[in-house]
Amino acid sequence: MNTHFSLPINNAVPECVLLTGATGFLGGAVAAQMITAGHAAELRFLVRAANPRQGLQRLHDNLQQHGVSDENRLHLTEAQVICGDFLDTGWLADKHDQLMEIDRVINCAAVASFSKNPSIWPVNVEGTFAFAEVMSRSQRLKRFVHVGTAMSCGPQRHSPVRESWEFPEVEQQLVDYTASKAEIERRLREQLPNLPLVVARPSIVVGHSTLGCRPSASIFWVFRMGFALESFTCGMDEHIDVIPADYCANALIGLAFKPQLKYDLYHISAGSQSACTYAEIDQAYALASNGAPVGERYRRVGAHDLKSLASSFEERIGIANPRLVLRALRLYGGFADLNYLFDNSRLLDEGISPPPRFTDYLGACVNSSKDVSIASQMQWDFK
């Protein structure tokens, strides 16, 4: 499937847009969409690098993975790179004047890991807040779009989950990552009243609608593993809320540039209309893999029973660290067990088109993963 999303930018008024996280998965998708649509000149990039040349090279490498042509990448210059890192925000004072020239921010930067990465809180909370605090002093800034995660809502919510500023206690969050994303949203909203904040919470971002897993294999390995083991914590009749990175990027751009928004908080999600059941995904996965669906061989297991699958790990998924595999299954099994759909009516009401269904582009994810082991793909989410 070749999905095209129109870019919701008004070409009449050139503005300076600062994009953070452009060397990552979602930020890279935002950069790719804007550059390919001819908006390279308006972009500034906050990049973790020793110097602008190194930063530009990191951008080039990631944009190539996102399918940006050599010609379009060559439009970027070192002058568009602001070297900075949310782990050490000493650079903010030096770059103050540059930051005050920014009209809009799309903040995709974060440590997006389900591991116990010690940088999660310093980057996702402390560093992000320090950056936003400086931007809140700008007289020029029109909008600050901050990317959260829909899963920060925590457990025990009624599905479909509606947007809410209420969060569970930190200890109720399933992983440190979701806890950090909830906390930074709370701080931005409560402590920076002058920040023109709009929060966007994507649901589960898997693959790219045309490039598959080429830009990132994040989370797709979970589906591969579940079908290889013929077991997981969800039922075949349950739905999963999955969107591709390029659709999410398009929605973020829309939220950043639309002149007026009705809300300050949005889900970017499949919602009830575009979500797929695991049975539908099983059928599409089998078709793309030239194999047979798991179907009636599938066994639903509880999170506490996942250990019983360990003896078949190597045979079914290849050589991998069994402890890491079991930990990963438990973590993702916990999220799958929630069986959440995230209401996207606010986003659709703003004129953003509905997303493709996961089954529409799952073949691209399968084809781009043929020569990559499940264990290798797991590293995207446990760095």
Three-state SS for 91-126 is HHHHCHHHHCCCCEEEECCCCCCCCCCCCHHHHHHH
Residue, of 376 and 189, whose pLDDT is higher: 189
Residue with tokens 């059928």: 283
Beta bridge partners of 67: none
Could you give the percent of the chain with pLDDT greater than 90? 75
For 193, other C-beta atoms within 10 Å of its C-beta total 9
Amino acid letter, 314: E
Give CA–CA dist 106/112, Å, rounded.
16
Beta bridge partners of 161: 342
What average pLDDT does this structure show over 80-108?
Answer: 97
Q: What is the pLDDT of residues 170-222, one digit of tens each?
A: 888 888 999 999 999 999 999 999 999 999 999 999 999 999 999 999 999 88
Give CA–CA dist 295/274, Å, rounded.
22
What average pLDDT does this structure show over 115-124?
Answer: 93
* Predicted TM-score (pTM) above 0.85: yes
Residue 13 pLDDT > 70, yes or no? no
Band the pLDDT of 36: cuts 50, 70, 90. Answer: very high
**For the residues of 319-335, what is the DSSP string, one character each?**
S--HHHHHHHHHHHHHH
H helical segments located in the chain: 25-36, 52-65, 70-73, 91-94, 96-99, 120-121, 128-135, 176-191, 220-229, 245-257, 271-274, 278-289, 313-317, 322-338, 345-349, 358-367, 374-378
pLDDT of residue 114: 79
Residue 64 pLDDT > 90, yes or no? yes
What average pLDDT does this structure show over 19-39?
Answer: 96
Give CA–CA dist 14/1, Å, rounded.
33
pLDDT of residue 4: 47
359 phi/psi in degrees, rounded to 5: -65, -20
In terms of Cβ atoms closer than 10 Å to its own Cβ (0-12, 13-18, 19+), residue 370 is exposed
Q: What is the pLDDT of residues 230-263, one digit of tens each?
A: 988 889 999 999 999 999 999 999 999 999 999 9
Contacts of 14 (CB under 8 A, 6+ apart): 41, 42
The radius of gyration computed from the CA coordinates of the chain, to the nearest angstrom, equals 20
Q: Which of 13-17, 42-46, 80-84 has the lowest mean pLDDT?
A: 13-17
Q: What is the pLDDT of residues 316-367, one digit of tens each?
A: 888 877 777 778 777 777 777 788 999 999 999 999 999 999 999 999 999 9
pLDDT of residue 10: 58
Q: What is the DSSP code (8-state) at residue 354? A: P
Taking the domains of the chain in order of start, what are their residue ranges?
17-218+240-275+340-357
pLDDT of residue 8: 60
* CATH code 3.30.1330.20 for 17-218+240-275+340-357: no
Q: What is the pLDDT of residues 289-306, one digit of tens each?
A: 999 999 999 988 877 777
pLDDT of residue 156: 83
CB 181 within 8 A of CB 149: yes
